Structure 1
């Protein structure tokens, strides 16, 4: 009797959709003909976000890290799983390890983790803890270690950017900013092609820049004045908390910006253009696509 499970394309679970990475990832997977199960806290919201997707290629399930009752149904039948840590989840050993273990037991054979640039050295970060867990529990994994997302400037930091200010505590440290669309496309490639098992990729843009240089590029390309203010870590904490960010989320951001301040985010890697078969997008490309911020 033929193996019917192997006669159809693998079913890929995606966490973090809709979102900066999840949305373009799902669309990239669909373009590649993959079958996708979007796993979300609110599947109806996700269903609306992908209302134009072919019904034969996409399905929706309820899954929330930390809510163990959602795990079994969410992971049943999956072949591969894209794992994105929600910003509000800092206790990954409590809220994410059990989910990954259930997924492994349910038959997920390849985990693709959206990690963090330098996670192999920044052992205190949640991303490093997730890497260590997946590397030690018998899972087949791929770690994607992106640098700072360009799009964070127009989402997380939009209130300040609308004022012409880039307010992050990164000092004069350089960052190899990366485009979320490029990261999502790379993730889709890793999830649908062989040869990426048990590997880690550093995903960066083509240049390492200070935030002052980013502000200068935004000014030159858009014709609107931008400046970088470099708040102290304490001032940044108060700013983000005042804008409604959670304590744990803000502290993780502080840790990420500390890597830039300490010169740990400046590495430029060839992994992304190698995966994509084309150059990675630059800050200039991103500046040309900036939405109206008035």
Structure 2
């Protein structure tokens, strides 16, 4: 089986993706900025399964790490590090080296609506891959449920969902399902030069999500619905980089403008089952997390 390189591990999608690939008997190289840290974290998360992993040093922006990282890799899962907004400068040179090293298929973790929101970094990466001649697969997931328990955890712990999405609906998706779809794409055939819009089975407002979290946890969770400016100031005060906040603002704007609520059957088709629901996530992830933080 081809050697599969995975960027973004450990991470929300990267860790379960590596687990899914190993379960399918794939040969996997984790490409990380801190490979020894990745080895420790994945060992803790995956246990004995992680023993078969290969690790490579890949630091986007540090050209000296590129050649060795991609040597022997034929399929590559590409995740944009959140802090990198200038992908033409920081990521494309690395992907050029990957092509030269023999990578034949790239699966990109993009975002829902990337084909319409051309200013986001994901759209620029999609354009690059389409023009490069490599076989590509774009995974365009809707908003990750897990963003609310990672990026927005401080606010959730105080009983708020604090995002500038207005009253728009979002077809939330669980990263575990996205990771499984990524493993299907990277280990199967027939996914070349395709784009998959990966959503859950229903579209909800953030107010409805807050109500589900309240019901599952027994703690009041409310949707604050800040303005884009208030959200920007709040996240800057938390120390989040300006470029990262701008990308987040673009993502939440899709909900505010009514274009994040699209529900598709594509994830269910790839998985052969229904995607996890927000109710599932509220019970198995949010409830234990808020109990720990009580």
Cα deviation digits, residues 231-282 of structure 1 (max 9, x gap): 1111101111111211111111011111110111010010000000000001
Distance 2:195 2:252 in 1: 22
1:5 corresponding residue in structure 2: none
| Of 154, 158, 161, the match for 1:163 | 158
1:83 corresponding residue in structure 2: 78
Distance 1:264 1:122 in 2: 11
Gaps of 5+ in 2: none
2:175 corresponding residue in structure 1: 180
Query: Is 1:25 the equivalent of 2:17?
Result: yes
Cα deviation digits, residues 4-42 of structure 1 (max 9, x gap): xxxxx1100000000000000001101111010000010
- How far residue 53 of structure 1 moved from its aligned partner, in angstroms, is 4.3
2:35 corresponding residue in structure 1: 43
Cα deviation digits, residues 89-128 of structure 1 (max 9, x gap): 0001001111111101110010000001011111111101
| SS of alignment partner, residue 50 of structure 1 | helix
Distance 1:127 1:172 in 2: 25
Cα deviation digits, residues 175-224 of structure 1 (max 9, x gap): 00000000000000100011101000000111111100100111122221
Query: Is the contact between residue 34 and residue 57 of structure 1 (CA under 8 Å) also seen in structure 2?
Result: no
Cα deviation digits, residues 38-67 of structure 1 (max 9, x gap): 000100011112223457731101001111
Query: Is the contact between residue 77 and residue 107 of structure 1 (CA under 8 Å) also seen in structure 2?
Result: yes
Distance 2:67 2:266 in 1: 35
> Structure 1 residues 53, 82: closer, same or farther in 2, change over 3 A?
farther
1:254 corresponding residue in structure 2: 249
Query: Is the contact between residue 13 and residue 179 of structure 2 (CA under 8 Å) also seen in structure 1?
Result: yes
| SS of alignment partner, residue 56 of structure 2 | strand
| Of 71, 91, 95, the match for 1:96 | 91
Distance 2:9 2:51 in 1: 18
1:1-294 alignment, distance < 5 Å:
9-51=1-43, 52-54=47-49, 57-289=52-284, 290=286, 291=289, 292=291, 293-294=293-294
Gaps of 5+ in 1: 1-8
Q: RMSD over aligned Cα, in angstroms? A: 1.0
Task: Indicate the structure with greater helix content.
Answer: 2
| SS of alignment partner, residue 67 of structure 2 | helix
Distance 1:273 1:281 in 2: 10
Distance 1:50 1:161 in 2: 26
Query: Is the contact between residue 147 and residue 178 of structure 1 (CA under 8 Å) also seen in structure 2?
Result: yes
Distance 1:194 1:115 in 2: 20
1:3 corresponding residue in structure 2: none
Distance 2:40 2:51 in 1: 16
TM-score norm. by structure 1 comes to: 0.95
